[in-house]
């Protein structure tokens, strides 16, 4: 029984000799981009300009953004389910100058009824 080898995307192995300076530069670029050395080499081969990976503040801001987005989505779904959000008043508010005082009273009254 013969075993089939798994098909790889890259089936050519390359051995490269580097001096200390070249190795240090490759290691620096890989650490800066937070990528493996092999990925850095491939990117450099296709003339990709490596950029420094964002710091932890960026990722913390993104986590906060995702959390706010999730909360907003939950509130929107709840408002739609309970009937707080009605499409007709929303469409009226989008039209500049087409909103009357009566529409506003209807929307605020609908919100008070559900509270």
One digit per residue, the tens of pLDDT, for the chain of length 115 reads 556 666 778 888 888 899 999 999 999 999 999 999 999 998 888 887 778 888 899 999 999 999 999 988 888 888 888 877 665 655 555 554 444 444 444 444 444 444 4
pTM here is 0.42
Indicate the domain borders of the chain: 14-53, 56-114
Report CA torsion sign: 27, 31, 36, 38.
negative
Residue 110: the pLDDT is 47
CB atoms within 10 A of CB 107: 19
Residue 80: the pLDDT is 83
How many alpha carbons lie under 13 Å from residue 23 in its C-beta half-sphere? Answer: 5
Quote the Cα angle for 43-48-53, to 5°: 80
């Amino acid at each position: 029984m013969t075993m089939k080898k798994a098909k790889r995307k890259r089936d050519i192995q390359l051995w490269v000799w580097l001096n200390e300076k070249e190795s240090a530069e490759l290691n620096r670029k890989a650490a800066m981009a937070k990528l493996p050395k092999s990925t850095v080499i491939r990117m450099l081969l296709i003339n990709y300009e490596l950029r420094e990976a964002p710091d932890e503040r960026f990722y913390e801001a993104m986590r906060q953004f995702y959390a706010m987005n999730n909360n907003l989505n939950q509130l929107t779904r709840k408002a739609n389910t309970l009937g707080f959000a009605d499409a007709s008043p929303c469409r009226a508010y989008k039209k500049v100058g087409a909103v009357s005082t009566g529409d506003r009273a209807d929307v605020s009254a609908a919100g008070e009824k559900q509270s």
